[in-house]
């Protein structure tokens, strides 16, 4: 959407709606594969939901939104390019106060930008040694879903800005989500695909920051 030059008022609700579809598919597939961890999920979600709702109520000026989203996309590109993980050894749950604090921060940013928050939570879980890759992906998918709901509820009037082609976008997102969740939940992710997407995100993020 950034590459296509869509307005921020259109990008945010469209991104949140597409998040709902793909994240729901991912959550179901990863849960069925036995990777979802409720104990890992709920502390982050408990604070992220109200803060995503708050972020959804805030409308940033277009220039500020583009800068913030540009930085977020560049971080997402870095997260996709680099394979995070420390192995299965030394995995331990996050301290409750730390998880609550991180959930609030990521939730607010999710509501403001429409990214869902998974691109921040997943590397955090892996780098901190709080989860293995597949449980981290499962928890992040559910995290994106609840934050996207909260973000939309924070400003339901934004749904009137959805583009006319959102149904086709949703169908394409669902097809990609089914394929991606199936591969991700039961097979190793494709490093080549991740890095190609990272390049696209760098271009999009750079356009938002420099445009």
Angle at 75 between CA 179 and CA 49, to 5 degrees: 75
User: What average pLDDT score do residues 132-159 get?
Assistant: 90
Average pLDDT estimate for 189-206: 73
Comparing 37-51, 111-125, 182-196, the range with the smallest average pLDDT is: 182-196
Q: Which of 35-39, 45-49, 175-179 is predicted least confidently? A: 175-179
CB atoms within 10 A of CB 95: 12
The sign of the dihedral angle between the CA atoms of 30, 139, 192, 17 is: positive
CA distance 52 to 152: 9
- Which of these ranges, 5-19, 66-80, 95-109, 129-143, has the smallest mean pLDDT? 66-80
Q: How far apart are CA 23 and CA 20, in angstroms?
A: 5
Domain limits, the chain: 8-210
Q: Is the pLDDT of residue 84 over 80?
A: no
Q: Residue 202, class by beta-carbon neighbours within 10 Å (0-12 exposed, 13-18 middle, 19+ buried)?
A: middle
Q: What is the pTM of this model?
A: 0.80
Q: What is the DSSP string of 34-60?
A: T---HHHHHHHHHHHHHHHHHHHH---
pLDDT value at residue 83: 59
pLDDT tier for residue 2 given thresholds of 50, 70 and 90: confident
Handedness of CA 77, 101, 37, 153 (dihedral sign): negative
pLDDT of residue 187: 59
**How confident is the prediction for the chain on average, in pLDDT?**
85
Q: Angle at the Cα of 159 (from 64 to 7), degrees rounded to 5?
A: 35
């Amino acid at each position: 959407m950034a590459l296509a030059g869509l307005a921020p008022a259109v990008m945010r609700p469209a991104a949140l709606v597409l998040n709902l579809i793909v994240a729901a598919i991912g959550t179901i597939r990863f849960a069925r594969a036995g990777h979802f961890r409720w104990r890992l999920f709920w502390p982050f979600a408990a604070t992220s939901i109200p803060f995503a709702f708050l972020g959804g109520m805030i409308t940033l000026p277009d220039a500020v939104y583009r800068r913030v989203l540009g930085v977020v996309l560049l971080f997402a590109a870095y997260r996709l390019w680099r394979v995070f993980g420390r192995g299965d050894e030394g995995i331990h749950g996050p301290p409750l106060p730390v998880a609550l604090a991180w959930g609030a921060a990521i939730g607010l940013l999710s509501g403001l930008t429409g990214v869902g928050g998974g691109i921040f939570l997943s590397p955090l879980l892996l780098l901190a040694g709080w989860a293995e890759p597949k449980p981290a992906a499962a928890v992040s998918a559910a995290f994106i879903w609840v934050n996207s709901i909260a973000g939309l509820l924070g400003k339901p009037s934004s749904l009137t800005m959805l583009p006319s082609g959102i149904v086709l976008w949703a169908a394409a997102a669902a097809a990609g989500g089914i394929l991606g969740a199936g591969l991700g939940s039961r097979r190793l992710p494709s490093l080549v695909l991740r890095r190609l997407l990272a390049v696209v995100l760098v271009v999009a993020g750079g356009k938002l920051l420099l445009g």
